[in-house]
Amino acid sequence: MNTKANRRAAIKNLIAGTAVITASSFIPTVSCKAAASYALKGNIQHAVCRWCFSDLSVEQLCIEANKLGIKGIDLVGPKDWPTLKKYNLVSSMCNGAEISLVKGWNDPQYHATLIKNYTEHINLVAAAGYTNLICFSGNRNGMSDEIGLTNCANGLKQIMAHAEKKGVIIQMELLNSKVDHKDYMCDRTAWGAELCKRIGSPNFKLLYDIYHMQIDEGDVIHTIREFHSYIGHYHTAGVPDRNEIDDTQELYYPAIMKAILATGFKDYVAQEFIPTAKDKLLSLKKAIEICDI
């Protein structure tokens, strides 16, 4: 499965607009197996990435999220925020200000557009009462790590005072460049942590994607312990194929979740796996149970 193409297409389709949409009054039944609500332990704030369940409408996903005790939905833009609010859900990682995964802050030719986009989107996120807004480094295109760091820092510093004023946290996602996102620059946690240091703002963090970082650098628990102060959000998925996080893959998520909790992390952990089971919502339910330590 071409997960890179799927994710890029999904994010492109979900990039935010400000148009108001009208929810359908008819919501079909999507799963009986995942229908019963159950109590979670309350140690982890659970979320789910919208694009992984794009066969459901936003409203359907909200209904199912409520049943599962999920508090937020990742990668949702302004046009869908009214639906989330209807179901008392948070847009746990907002999107829509980015140009693309490959055209990001490491290239000064995009800075003017990105500064404008992010300044406007920070206002929208704050007005909605949300906190997290995703960003991307962009591809290397022959650029050195040092030049990329300098370019990203120079560009991002121009929006950070506004983000701080509005209480919005800009979060750069760590993606693997080995399999899914060839040539992506922010593909190592240490590089992302150095960028955080150079920007020097408490409102700039890393979105640590466990799947991606297992592929590119491994040593997940040690890395989380070492760099946790720079991490503001987590994504999950099974390795190697980005599917369910059960015993069919190589990561042991209960131990990872315990390590995250031990750092004092209080924000969201979002499921970002591509379900392969016939009952996708049952897979989501099982993933929440695995991560609810």
Q: What CATH number is associated with residue 267?
A: 3.20.20.150
Q: Is residue 34 part of a domain?
A: no
Please tell me the predicted confidence (pLDDT) of residue 207.
99
Q: Is residue 26 part of a domain?
A: no
Instruction: Give me the number of domains the chain comprises.
Output: 1
Tell me which residue range forms the domain holding 138. 3-14+41-291
Q: Is residue 47 part of a domain?
A: yes
Q: Is residue 10 part of a domain?
A: yes
Q: Which residue has the tokens 């197996």?
A: 33
Taking only the tens place, the pLDDT of each residue in 121-164 is: 999 999 999 999 999 999 999 999 999 999 999 999 999 999 99
Q: Is residue 225 part of a domain?
A: yes
106 within 8 A of 138, measured Cβ to Cβ: yes
Please tell me the predicted confidence (pLDDT) of residue 39.
83
Q: Residues 271, 92, 32, 291: is their CA dihedral positive or negative?
A: positive
Q: Is residue 71 part of a domain?
A: yes
Q: What is the pLDDT along the chain (293 residues), one digit of tens a residue?
A: 444 555 555 555 544 443 333 333 333 334 434 444 558 999 999 999 999 999 999 999 999 999 999 999 999 999 999 999 999 999 999 999 999 999 999 999 999 999 999 999 999 999 999 999 999 999 999 999 999 999 999 999 999 999 999 999 999 999 999 999 999 999 999 999 999 999 999 999 999 999 999 999 999 999 999 999 999 999 999 999 999 999 999 999 999 999 999 999 999 999 999 999 999 999 999 999 999 99
Grouping H, G, I as helix, E, B as strand and the rest as coil, residue 178 is coil
Q: Is residue 150 part of a domain?
A: yes
CA–CA distance from 171 to each of 38, 39, 62, 186, 290 (Å)?
Answer: 31, 30, 24, 12, 25
Structure pTM? 0.88
Q: Is residue 36 part of a domain?
A: no
Please tell me the predicted confidence (pLDDT) of residue 33.
42
Taking only the tens place, the pLDDT of each residue in 3-29 is: 455 555 555 554 444 333 333 333 333
